[in-house]
Structure 1
Amino acid sequence: MSHRQSDMITWGMMLRKVPTIVRALPRLVRGIRFANITDPEQPCGLGWTFEQATLRNPEGAALLYGNEVLSYTQANQQSNRIAHHLLEQGIGKGDVVALFIENRPELLLSVLAVAKVGGICAMLNTSQTQAVLVHSLNLVKPVAIMVGAELVGVYSAVRDQVSIEPGRSWFVADYPQTVVPDGYVDLMAASAHCALDNPSSSQRIYFNDPCFYIYTSGTTGLPKAGIFKHGRWMKSSASFGTIALDMGPQDVVYCTLPLYHATGLCVCWGSAIAGASGFAIRRKFSASQFWDDVRQFDATTLGYVGELCRYLIDQPPGERDLNNRVTKMIGNGLRPGVWAEFKARFGVDHICELYAASDGNIGFTNVLNFDNTIGFSLMHWALVDYAHDTCEPIRGSNGFMREVAKGGQGLLLARIDDKAPFDGYTDPEKNRKVVIRDVFEQGDRYFNTGDLLRNIGFGHAQFVDRLGDTYRWKGENVSTTEVENIFLQHPQISEVVAYGVEIHNTNGRAGMAAITPTESLASLDMRELLQFAHGQLPAYAVPLFLRIKVKMETTGTFKYQKVKLKEEAFDPDKAGDDPIYAWLPGSDSYVPVTCQVLADIQAGKFRY
């Protein structure tokens, strides 16, 4: 986000929004009523909201994919069949079912079925492999797994390290492929005979019941499983779908974001369900096909991350750019440099930028349609001073923390209370690390988001940066520790420090690693090193830049000096005698960064 003074919100700007606020009041009241479930005996959650949407819009499109369209009634009945089969197999409330399927209708129907029986969906990242996949599975102890045909090979490679019995290992065909591999049960065939009616279990799911485990980067280098409860689903779908976007049966959300992340699954799909709207998905994002899909699906609403918007802006302008029905979009990470240009070029009226940590207890939404802001939050939050070297909040002489002034940047803390409970992680130790006590007064508790925000007035904020041991690239959170642990397995590397660096005109931070060879620079085969990284890490986590150091500098407490490394980044003039290498798009090896290569990178000659 920009830190420009012009982004500050003034009284005049607020007054111009009064008609918008007045128009929004009825749906604000309606949304708050749906969002804030307080009765522990009131049925709610994903299954319940989908069933309500089916009653509102039975014949309307619920899921659109390629040339396939499922109405709300069809989608609800198909998920009911799967739900009844799960119940027959003894899957019930609190049981964890892992889902390992790429973006397609069967994933959402399966998620819906698990939610209806009260199970917890472990939303596995489909780019995970090997040890990281094993960790993610064993962390949540699933009693069953649903594996898409497209990922059977990946799961089969680790299957003997996960204790899930074959009778509860469901295969989800990817048509026209129907051959079921050994040791799996065909989910759709096994559930084809089951009842079409809503299972009674979906009426016995309450706000405090877990719905999903959504994985986020852990500072230990392996993913953490954040708990996402049905009560939070109600808050999320009503806040975004009803209050922010005013979704209705005439709307269609087009989402190419991975559905194992909360933005795609909870924000985009939740918004569609809240409005009994259509939800159009694609297996993987394609910049060249994007607007053709939008027109085919007659989409009114887009789900986005900042990188996606930049890729669309980078496409050659066309005479059909304005030929679409899109008026609103929801997502996060859109930079000010792209914001106004995107609205103008594609005719979008409202960019509903949001901020929400899937593992946290706070969300911001740009309900009032200001530019360059994540909007405001109804939860209690504060931006506090922090130490730049450790990224930890600072306490004053009185023992309490100090809020930054309006216009200032600070570490975002969110108060934990009845209105904003912290559901936390599956690992209690992880919870202790992010909960801070006695922040402004004795006994208070706050969630440390680890993110740097700026207060731009009238309760609105801008996202500035992600602090600490994760950075964001290609819409994914990358754990520096995971990258370091993988590189340390290479026999020619003795020390590694991974961090994120900025490339001009890109979103997020690109991966960079400072490495010390076990012998010498000459012993490193840069082509083999890149192949090694690709074999062990998801593509988005492979470092784009390397810095070769004879000796790593550390602080007095033996911590690596990441701040200095980040500042010097991949500029050979700032790196002294340390050689800098880059993986340039399209190449198969790390190559030396010269002043000319640096100039070409910063001029945008390479497409990152």
Structure 2
Amino acid sequence: MIKKDVFRTLAELPKLIKAKKLLRPRPADTRDCLGARVAANAARIPRRSAFVCEGQTMDWQHFNAAANRYAAVFRAQGLQRGDAVSVLMENRIDFMVVVIALNKLGVIASLINTSLTGRPLTHCAEITGARKFLFGEECTDAVADVRSALPLADGDYLFVPDSGERAAPDWALNMADAAAQTTADNPPETADITIEDVAFYIFTSGTTGLPKAAVLSNRRYLLTASVVQVGGLQLTEDDRLYLCLPLFHGTGLMVGAGAAFLAGASMFIRRRFSASQFLPEVREHRATAFVYIGELCRYLLHVPAQADDANNPLRAVVGNGLRPDIWHSFKQRFGIERVAEFYGSSEGNVGFFNLLNKDCTVGSSALPTALIKYDVDRDEVMRDAAGRCQPVAPGEPGLLLGKITPHTKFEGYTSAEATEKKILRDVLQPGDAWFNTGDLMRTVDVGFAFGLPHYQFVDRIGDTFRWKGENVSTNEVGEILNLHPQIALSNVYGVEVPGTDGRAGMASLRLEEGVSTLDLDSFSAHVQAELPHFARPLFLRIQSEMDTTGTFKLLKGDLRKQGYDPAQVNDVLCVLKPGATRYEPLDADFHARIVQGAAGY
């Protein structure tokens, strides 16, 4: 077995060397961008399939021409290099046409979550200073509802048809009609776009509905996509990628689509994930690769197994969050040879990649990183007498930091204040600066790996936890809960729920003076109105007193350990059951169902 592992690892060496070469820094003025790569595909493999989506197919030549026509419309609208455009569209080929057209001109595509409406949608359109707002027919109502709150004129709205059931409103330009009157020639502006130009704004989850816009340059997009293509999925133009993650998010657009763009591989695009349709569509469209988040893998394993599940063309998958406890069963059931698990974020300067195809690891990194000691119970970085952070021992969990250097920049957010909050300074030596990932990691033994340390994700630290594929800020949730008139103070933290990915939200609540019982109807309505579904605490604990540190920071360590177990907690416990909108008391019977993984979360 050991010998087989060595040979298998040695076979990965050529790809590993090639991937490492891709990490070599390029001068900031290097001319390269995603739009240029698409034009190159159109010249090299014009008749090869680029996309399949909802019965529509498009080759690289026609895709490039469509993007060029849209680019001509954007230019006619006065958009120039460095401008930003809000983009609100569901997964479909026209989404790809739009973002490539903008990139060809050096215009920043500000990609907004299609589930946002009202104030959060207005916020996203405003904080990037977008000059135009482009939206799909499917999102017309959401945009119409916020028009009066945005500083845009009627001519600043751009409409992209979808099903054709709704015409463009009289306050928006129909992009398809306008594009039909333009040239399909490659725009000359593309030749001047550099890797340092900003390509996208990708928004964070936005626990309170007010996301931050992370800056994504052409350099970081192309770097990540090329490593995925060459060392991760090992894609070529003969492959087809199954893509169902939202394209407004980095995993779908940068990791998935990016790798396919660079390889010239075909993409099967789905608007939304469907566990029941996954295998039939993989087989029908001959998909050889798949982009996942851990939650999707768990959903797929919940579909009743069939004897021929492994009889499919999938050979490699890429994503993050595949839990070690389902890793092997997922690979075996679907006959997958290669799992390219990675670790990273849209805004971060650090990444890990499982390029050697080892099990249960996010792989290694060629970037400067550190794992430092972190006091989980007190929720703070540990420093020595000299004020320096302390590296952890091998195998010990530590807070992951990414060193900020000229070649590993932290591009941050559009908000300078938000950017600074993510930086730790004077970490290992005076004057150094590191990006704080907010994640605990540890090194793991994966056997022969050319001496490269491999890592495994452990947990989010106290102020943030991950649930349903989204990062949730405990501080932001707490601020919302504190607005309820009966709540004096809330302490929010993540707790484990068997059979699920990440941690679910739990809130310890101290009631206002004179309030003896929480009004569950009123409090439930407040939570439903003010928090997105993934940020709503599933469990409540009513406490008379709360423990704090000497600097009055709320302690969470014991609360996390006790969780929502009625046998360990004497306080009142409440639960928000799956599909419910109102909290109710948590009893021992339902707790037992949760522990057994049968509660439906």
| TM-score of the pair, normalised by structure 1 | 0.92
Partner in structure 2 of residue 155 of structure 1? 143
Alpha-carbon spacing, 1:193–1:241, altered in 2? closer, same or farther (3 Å): same
Measure the CA separation in 1 of the matches of 2:72 and 2:305: 50
How far the C-alpha of 1:277 sits from its partner, in A, is 0.4
Alpha-carbon spacing, 1:391–1:195, altered in 2? closer, same or farther (3 Å): farther
Alpha-carbon spacing, 1:536–1:101, altered in 2? closer, same or farther (3 Å): farther
Report the count of equivalent residues: 594
After the TM superposition, which of the residue ranges 462-471 and 148-157 deviates more from structure 2? 148-157
Partner in structure 2 of residue 583 of structure 1? 576
**Contact 1:35–1:238, Cα closer than 8 Å, also in 2:** no
Residues 479-530 of structure 1, C-alpha deviations (whole Å, 9 max, x = no match) = 223323333444444433322211012101112223345564656144x544
Residue ranges of structure 1 left out of the alignment (5+ in a row): 1-9
- Picking from 240, 249, 255, the partner of 1:261 is 249
After the TM superposition, which of the residue ranges 265-274 and 46-55 deviates more from structure 2? 46-55
- Picking from 445, 450, 461, the partner of 2:455 is 461
**Contact 1:221–1:482, Cα closer than 8 Å, also in 2:** no
How far the C-alpha of 1:212 sits from its partner, in A, is 0.9
Alpha-carbon spacing, 1:47–1:493, altered in 2? closer, same or farther (3 Å): same
After the TM superposition, which of the residue ranges 500-509 and 328-337 deviates more from structure 2? 500-509
Measure the CA separation in 2 of the matches of 1:58 and 1:531: 55
Query: Are 1:227 and 2:215 matched, yes or no?
Result: yes
Query: Are 1:594 and 2:587 matched, yes or no?
Result: yes
Partner in structure 2 of residue 314 of structure 1? 302
Query: Are 1:545 and 2:551 matched, yes or no?
Result: no
Residue ranges of structure 2 left out of the alignment (5+ in a row): 446-451
Measure the CA separation in 2 of the matches of 1:373 and 1:531: 41
Measure the CA separation in 2 of the matches of 1:73 and 1:516: 62
After the TM superposition, which of the residue ranges 214-223 and 542-551 deviates more from structure 2? 214-223
Partner in structure 2 of residue 570 of structure 1? 564
After TM superposition, the structure 1 = structure 2 runs for residues 366-405 of structure 1, keeping only pairs within 5 Å, are 366-405=354-393
SS of equivalent to 1:375: coil
SS of equivalent to 1:288: helix
After the TM superposition, which of the residue ranges 13-22 and 240-249 deviates more from structure 2? 13-22
How far the C-alpha of 1:196 sits from its partner, in A, is 0.8
Partner in structure 2 of residue 7 of structure 1? none
Query: Are 1:138 and 2:126 matched, yes or no?
Result: yes
Partner in structure 2 of residue 21 of structure 1? 12
After TM superposition, the structure 1 = structure 2 runs for residues 143-292 of structure 1, keeping only pairs within 5 Å, are 143-217=131-205, 222-292=210-280
How far the C-alpha of 1:300 sits from its partner, in A, is 0.5
After TM superposition, the structure 1 = structure 2 runs for residues 291-370 of structure 1, keeping only pairs within 5 Å, are 291-370=279-358
**Percent identity for Structure 1 against Structure 2:** 37
After TM superposition, the structure 1 = structure 2 runs for residues 374-523 of structure 1, keeping only pairs within 5 Å, are 374-456=362-444, 458-518=452-512, 520=515, 522=517
Alpha-carbon spacing, 1:344–1:454, altered in 2? closer, same or farther (3 Å): same
Measure the CA separation in 1 of the matches of 2:152 and 2:281: 38
Letter in 2 for 1:345: R
Partner in structure 2 of residue 126 of structure 1? 114
Query: Are 1:61 and 2:49 matched, yes or no?
Result: yes
**Contact 1:242–1:274, Cα closer than 8 Å, also in 2:** no
How far the C-alpha of 1:33 sits from its partner, in A, is 5.2
Residues 285-321 of structure 1, C-alpha deviations (whole Å, 9 max, x = no match) = 1111111221222110010011110110111101331
Alpha-carbon spacing, 1:536–1:73, altered in 2? closer, same or farther (3 Å): farther
Measure the CA separation in 2 of the matches of 1:511 and 1:380: 32
Measure the CA separation in 2 of the matches of 1:219 and 1:606: 25
SS of equivalent to 1:289: helix
Measure the CA separation in 1 of the matches of 2:12 and 2:568: 50
How far the C-alpha of 1:564 sits from its partner, in A, is 2.9
Partner in structure 1 of residue 30 of structure 2? 42
Letter in 2 for 1:109: V
Measure the CA separation in 2 of the matches of 1:130 and 1:551: 37
Measure the CA separation in 2 of the matches of 1:261 and 1:521: 44
Letter in 2 for 1:481: N
**Contact 1:99–1:145, Cα closer than 8 Å, also in 2:** yes
Measure the CA separation in 2 of the matches of 1:548 and 1:182: 53
Alpha-carbon spacing, 1:529–1:152, altered in 2? closer, same or farther (3 Å): farther
SS of equivalent to 2:189: helix
Measure the CA separation in 1 of the matches of 2:120 and 2:190: 33
Partner in structure 1 of residue 94 of structure 2? 106
Partner in structure 1 of residue 449 of structure 2? none
Alpha-carbon spacing, 1:468–1:136, altered in 2? closer, same or farther (3 Å): farther
Q: Which has the higher contact order (CA 8 A, sep 6+)?
A: 1
How far the C-alpha of 1:22 sits from its partner, in A, is 3.7
Residues 338-387 of structure 1, C-alpha deviations (whole Å, 9 max, x = no match) = 10001100000010000012111111110000000000111111111112
Query: Are 1:535 and 2:518 matched, yes or no?
Result: no
How far the C-alpha of 1:326 sits from its partner, in A, is 0.3
Measure the CA separation in 1 of the matches of 2:378 and 2:180: 56
| TM-score of the pair, normalised by structure 2 | 0.93
Alpha-carbon spacing, 1:33–1:167, altered in 2? closer, same or farther (3 Å): farther
**Contact 1:37–1:207, Cα closer than 8 Å, also in 2:** no
Q: Which runs of 4+ in 1 moved over 6 A?
A: 10-14, 218-221
SS of equivalent to 2:380: coil
Measure the CA separation in 2 of the matches of 1:73 and 1:498: 52
**Contact 1:100–1:125, Cα closer than 8 Å, also in 2:** yes
Alpha-carbon spacing, 1:137–1:551, altered in 2? closer, same or farther (3 Å): farther
SS of equivalent to 1:157: helix
**Contact 1:499–1:566, Cα closer than 8 Å, also in 2:** yes
Alpha-carbon spacing, 1:166–1:206, altered in 2? closer, same or farther (3 Å): same
Residues 160-195 of structure 1, C-alpha deviations (whole Å, 9 max, x = no match) = 222122212112222132322242222222222111
Letter in 2 for 1:129: T
How far the C-alpha of 1:234 sits from its partner, in A, is 1.5
How far the C-alpha of 1:127 sits from its partner, in A, is 2.1
* RMSD between aligned residues: 2.3
Measure the CA separation in 1 of the matches of 2:477 and 2:151: 27
Residues 462-482 of structure 1, C-alpha deviations (whole Å, 9 max, x = no match) = 011111422111111122233
Residues 532-557 of structure 1, C-alpha deviations (whole Å, 9 max, x = no match) = 43333322222222223345444443
How far the C-alpha of 1:14 sits from its partner, in A, is 6.9
Residues 431-478 of structure 1, C-alpha deviations (whole Å, 9 max, x = no match) = 222222332233332211111000125321101111142211111112
After the TM superposition, which of the residue ranges 400-409 and 230-239 deviates more from structure 2? 400-409
